[in-house]
Chains A and B, each alone.
Chain A
Amino acid sequence: GAGVSQSPSNKVTEKGKDVELRCDPISGHTALYWYRQSLGQGLEFLIYFQGNSAPDKSGLPSDRFSAERTGGSVSTLTIQRTQQEDSAVYLCASSIRYRGGTEAFFGQGTRLTVV
């Protein structure tokens, strides 16, 4: 596709259930980021994938959160045993690893509501 695609766009889940959020980056982009954004707040870094390097997981808030990136393309963010404080918009971005500098392109996000 032409841009970063995230699915679903909205997800309502019951407390305690597991959820999977999907990100399809721009084709050829080697870098992929996951961010979390609560209403009216800034971007909270979660995880960064860069090519075949070990991912930077320093932003994952707890061991309930995990992410993988299969074949260097599609990424899935999994939240186990969801809690109400997990409610937020989850944003994915991708970019090319390029010395000259290039911006990251964001998807529209997945709005997660835990009830």
Chain B
Amino acid sequence: GESVGLHLPTLSVQEGDNSIINCAYSNSASDYFIWYKQESGKGPQFIIDIRSNMDKRQGQRVTVLLNKTVKHLSLQIAATQPGDSAVYFCAERGGSNYKLTFGKGTLLTVNP
């Protein structure tokens, strides 16, 4: 959902379900996208990335989908586990200065 300021959208799922976290990006010239996971008290950590010449990329239990037409990125987590509970951030890289711009994040809570 939409966030106000920096307050985080939340997603709550049951253990074993699949999770889908969405991200809308702003720059149609962005050529590289990343998903990060941030656990409580830690810095964000890389999960998976995708370049703009692809529309899907799979990792271990995670899939990233890129829809450039509507500037939308999603992260799918299969068989969500309690250890997946964290804040998830998307990031886009665009412009000649290669700057990464981060989205506001989504808080995922996995219920046992």
For the side of the interface on A, what is the size category? Answer: 20 to 34
The answer to whether A97 and B100 touch across the interface, beta carbons within 8 angstroms, is: no
Residue of A nearest to B52 (CB): A101
* Residue in contact with B49 in the complex, picked from A38, A101, A107, A109, CB distance below 8 Å: A101
Number of interface residues of B (CB under 8 A): 30
Which listed residue (B6, B8, B51, B91) contacts A104, Cβ 8 A?
B91
Q: Which residue of A lies closest to B106 (CB)?
A: A42
Tell whether B101 is near chain A: CB-to-CB under 8 Å: yes
The reply to whether A56 and B97 form a contact with Cβ atoms under 8 Å apart is yes
B51 surroundings in chain A (CB, below 8 A): 100-101
Across the A-B interface, how many residue pairs have beta carbons closer than 8 Å?
A: 71
Interface residues of B in 66-100 (CB under 8 A from A): 87, 89, 91, 93, 97-100
Residues of A within 8 A of B5 (CB): 41
Query: Within 8 Å of chain B (Cβ to Cβ): is A34?
Result: no
A58, B11: Cα distance in complex, Å:
31
B91 and A44 contacting across the interface, CB-CB below 8 Å: no
Q: Do residues B99 and A48 form an inter-chain contact, with CB atoms below 8 A?
A: yes
| Interface residues, chain B, with chain A CB atoms under 8 Å away | 3, 5-8, 31-32, 34, 36, 42-46, 49, 51, 87, 89, 91, 93, 97-105, 107
The 8 A-B pairs with the shortest beta carbon distances in the complex, nearest first, are A106-B43, A101-B32, A42-B104, A41-B6, A42-B105, A42-B6, A103-B46, A43-B102
